[in-house]
Amino acid sequence: MYKTLEIERQGGIARLWLNRPKKLNPLSLQTLEELTQAAAELNQDKSLKVVVVSGRGRCFSAGADLAGFPQPGDPEARDAADAGRRMADAIEQIRAITIARIQGWCVGGGLVLAAACDLRVAASDARFSIPEIDLGIPLAWGGIPRLVREIGPALTKELVMTCRPFDAQEALRAGFLNNTAEPDDLDAAVDALAQAIAQRPSFAVQATKRHVDAVTANQVGLSRSWSDADSLLSGLLDPECQEARKRYIQERAKK
């Protein structure tokens, strides 16, 4: 049913895997659409209490697939540019509690995917990066309000504007992560958290999720993210942004 994802179920816990490990689990347009579809499918299973979102292989996600950037002038460009926002909204609206299990690199759109989850646990050697401005585009997909919600406005501005990488310890101190674990212990830590939630009464757990989400929705205004696609397309058209993107891609090709 899915070409870039895999879903596993065991009792009240499901695992949603990004499943293109050789490519470092990029978020192509197809993957974004499949994540949106998978979220809707998981919402049909009323027995689920927890969904663990993971990436196969050595990386959670290398972020948006650069080869699949929407092309200005394409009549489908805006819809494609909006696919990431729809994906993040769909993940956030999963009824069950979502846990991002993060190992290796978590980059750009992959970080937005993790931010859309309720909870996040990372390997102690995980690394994070938001390179969008180096690519000549704003952070889209509802990434700004979600980061403001999780780590505050000042740190969001710094990390997005400077594009500097940061490690799991900084992410934990900032409040983006709930916990870290040694790489060999990551699965055990995630499983322990998932089981602790799954053993609690569903109604009370989900009421807590809805209550917290209602409070933070009023604080950060996720509804404003409908215009992220327009900012993304504008960045693709801006000459200075185009030069920045060209430099970034050339530098990456040398590595």
How does pLDDT run across 119-171, given as a tens digit for each residue?
999 999 999 999 999 999 999 999 999 999 999 999 999 999 999 999 999 99
Distance CA(217)–CA(186), nearest Å, equals 30
pLDDT at 250: 87
Residue 13 has φ and ψ, to the nearest 5°, of: -120, 130
Tokens encoding 97: 């509690």
Which neighbouring-strand residues pair with 98? 51
| pLDDT surpasses 80 at 113 | yes
Residue 190 has φ and ψ, to the nearest 5°, of: -65, -45
C-alpha radius of gyration, the chain, whole number: 17
| pLDDT range class, residue 102, cuts 50, 70, 90 | very high
Least confident among 157-166, 179-188, 226-235 = 226-235
Residue whose entry in the numeric block shows the structure tokens 């759109």: 109
| pLDDT surpasses 80 at 226 | no
Question: Among 159, 161, 163, which residue's Cα sits nearest to residue 131?
Answer: 163
**Which percentage of the chain shows pLDDT scores above 90?**
81
| pLDDT surpasses 80 at 70 | no
Domain 5-184: CATH architecture, name and number where available? Alpha-Beta Complex (3.90)
If you average pLDDT over residues 245-250, what whole number do you get? Answer: 88
Q: Is 26 helix (H, G, I), strand (E, B) or coil?
A: coil
If you average pLDDT over residues 37-62, what whole number do you get? Answer: 97
**Domain boundaries of the chain, sorted by first residue:** 5-184
Which neighbouring-strand residues pair with 167? 127
Contact 85, 36 (CB under 8 A): no
If you average pLDDT over residues 177-195, what whole number do you get? Answer: 98
Classify burial at 195, counting beta carbons within 10 Å of its beta carbon; exposed 0-12, middle 13-18, buried 19 or more: middle
C-beta atoms surrounding 35 within 10 Å: 26
| pLDDT surpasses 80 at 224 | no
Tokens encoding 236: 């693709």
Q: How many residues are present in the chain?
A: 255
